[in-house]
């Protein structure tokens, strides 16, 4: 079965499971299994629905299904956003493709676009580009084991790649994939980056990593796909400008990292509840919140219910929306 066929089958399975869940007054995994689905099919479909924020399937059997009148428009908006981002990149990436193949056959570099063949070359390109920054750095960071390690254990590398000793007014913006919150310690690391002056945002998916600097330099990083071969260091201004526009467009459409409410902002709720609310607004599951905060999933579930009562919300999605309107996050 080809990749498109596999994706189609997964989408059809996810749709089937979602329709079954909508028809059940008290949705459960066991009920789905009685419909003839296998355990693997149920797990795969629920993982897709959770990624789309349509259900909460973190409990053993009970499944919470969020109202489709809020989740489906949000999912459609995500798809439209990804489509706009892809369309906006077409012209620049086509230019990159042609530029990389111009000149002498077999050459790996041109005057303005250099192909990076190793991870070391990619890292060097990042710092070389950052040193040229005067007004703005925007970085898109796709998920990979290497980037997860850097975010948690070496966040200074992210900070340094956006620093400038000559321009204290440099704007620094970073977009992470939302799933970075699944990595233990990530939320604290992202909060520390924001405290350093970096505008941190989250988005559902990134196809590759990019560092765009001042519309004149960029690094396209595909090291999450392989050892680094095929990544690019770009100094061609038209292409670098197109990459900056793509990064800024996606940054504008991404979700700001929610702030943890402090002091009396939450009235009867605790500081820990504030952290839970921030993670809730970021779309984290109960399991993810428990991992980030070092508490049990049962405790998270209990505190989420308390937060919803305090805010007068009937769903987790509504709790995040109310908190945002009140300026709590």
Residue 70 lies in a domain: no
Q: Which of 31, 65, 99 is the last residue of a domain?
A: 65
104 and 58 part of one domain: no
Maximum Cα–Cα distance across the chain = 69
282 and 139 part of one domain: no
202 and 250 part of one domain: yes
DSSP 260: P
Q: Which of 65, 84, 114 is the last residue of a domain?
A: 65
35 and 138 part of one domain: no
Q: What is the pTM of this model?
A: 0.58
pLDDT tens per residue, the chain (329 residues)? 444 455 566 788 889 999 999 999 999 999 999 999 998 889 888 988 988 889 998 888 999 999 988 888 888 887 777 777 666 666 566 666 666 665 543 344 456 888 888 888 888 888 888 888 888 999 999 888 888 888 777 766 665 555 544 456 788 899 998 888 888 888 888 888 888 888 999 888 888 899 999 999 999 988 766 555 678 999 998 999 999 999 999 998 888 887 776 655 556 677 778 888 888 877 788 888 888 888 888 888 888 888 888 888 777 777 777 777 776 66
The CATH number of residue 51's host domain is 1.10.10
40 and 107 part of one domain: no
Residue 124 lies in a domain: yes
The residue segments making up the domain with residue 273 are 258-325
Determine the Cα–Cα distance for residues 27 and 220; give it in Å rounded to an integer: 44
Q: Which of 224, 256, 288 is the last residue of a domain?
A: 256
Residue 186 lies in a domain: yes
217 and 197 part of one domain: yes
The CATH number of residue 263's host domain is 1.10.10.10
Alpha helices (H) in the chain, listed in sequence order = 3-23, 29-34, 39-51, 68-100, 119-130, 145-153, 155-160, 186-195, 237-253, 271-281, 286-293, 297-311, 316-325
148 and 252 part of one domain: yes
Total count of domains within the chain: 3
How many CA within 13 A on the CB side of residue 229? Answer: 3
248 and 275 part of one domain: no
- DSSP strand pairing (231-234 vs 64-65): unpaired
Residue 30 lies in a domain: yes
**CA neighbor of 286 nearest in space, from 99, 36, 63:** 63
Q: Which residues contact residue 45 at a Cβ distance below 8 angstroms, ignoring those fewer than 6 apart?
A: 10, 13, 14, 16, 17, 18, 37
238 and 300 part of one domain: no
27 and 90 part of one domain: no
153 and 210 part of one domain: yes
Residue 97 lies in a domain: yes
């Amino acid at each position: 079965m080809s990749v498109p066929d596999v994706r189609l089958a997964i989408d059809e399975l996810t749709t089937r499971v979602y329709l079954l869940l909508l028809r059940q007054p008290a949705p459960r995994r066991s009920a789905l299994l009685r419909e003839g689905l296998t355990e693997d099919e149920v797990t795969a479909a629920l993982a897709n629905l959770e990624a789309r924020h349509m259900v909460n399937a973190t409990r053993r059997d009970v499944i919470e299904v969020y109202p489709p009148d809020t989740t489906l428009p949000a999912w459609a908006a995500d798809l439209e956003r990804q489509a706009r981002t892809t369309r906006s990149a077409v012209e620049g990436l086509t230019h990159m493709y042609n530029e990389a193949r111009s000149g002498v056959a077999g050459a790996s570099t041109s005057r303005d676009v250099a192909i990076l063949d190793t991870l070391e070359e990619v890292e060097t390109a990042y710092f070389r580009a950052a040193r040229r920054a005067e007004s703005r750095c925007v970085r898109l960071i796709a998920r990979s084991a290497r980037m997860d390690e850097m975010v948690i254990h070496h966040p200074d590398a992210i900070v340094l790649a956006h620093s400038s000793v000559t321009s204290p007014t440099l704007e620094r913006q970073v977009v992470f994939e939302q799933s970075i919150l699944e990595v233990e310690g990530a939320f604290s690391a992202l909060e520390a980056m924001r405290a350093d002056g970096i505008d941190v945002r989250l988005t559902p998916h990134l196809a590759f990593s990019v560092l765009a600097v001042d519309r004149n330099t960029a690094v396209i990083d595909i090291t999450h796909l392989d050892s680094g071969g095929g990544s690019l260091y770009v100094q061609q201004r038209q292409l670098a400008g197109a990459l900056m526009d793509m990064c800024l467009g996606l940054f504008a459409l991404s979700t700001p990292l929610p702030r943890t409410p402090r002091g009396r902002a939450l009235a009867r709720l605790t500081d820990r509840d504030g952290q839970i609310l921030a993670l809730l607004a970021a779309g984290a599951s109960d399991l993810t919140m428990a991992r980030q905060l070092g508490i049990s999933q049962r405790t998270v579930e209990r505190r989420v219910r308390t937060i919803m009562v305090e805010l007068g919300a009937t769903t987790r999605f509504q709790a995040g929306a109310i908190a945002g309107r009140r300026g709590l996050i």
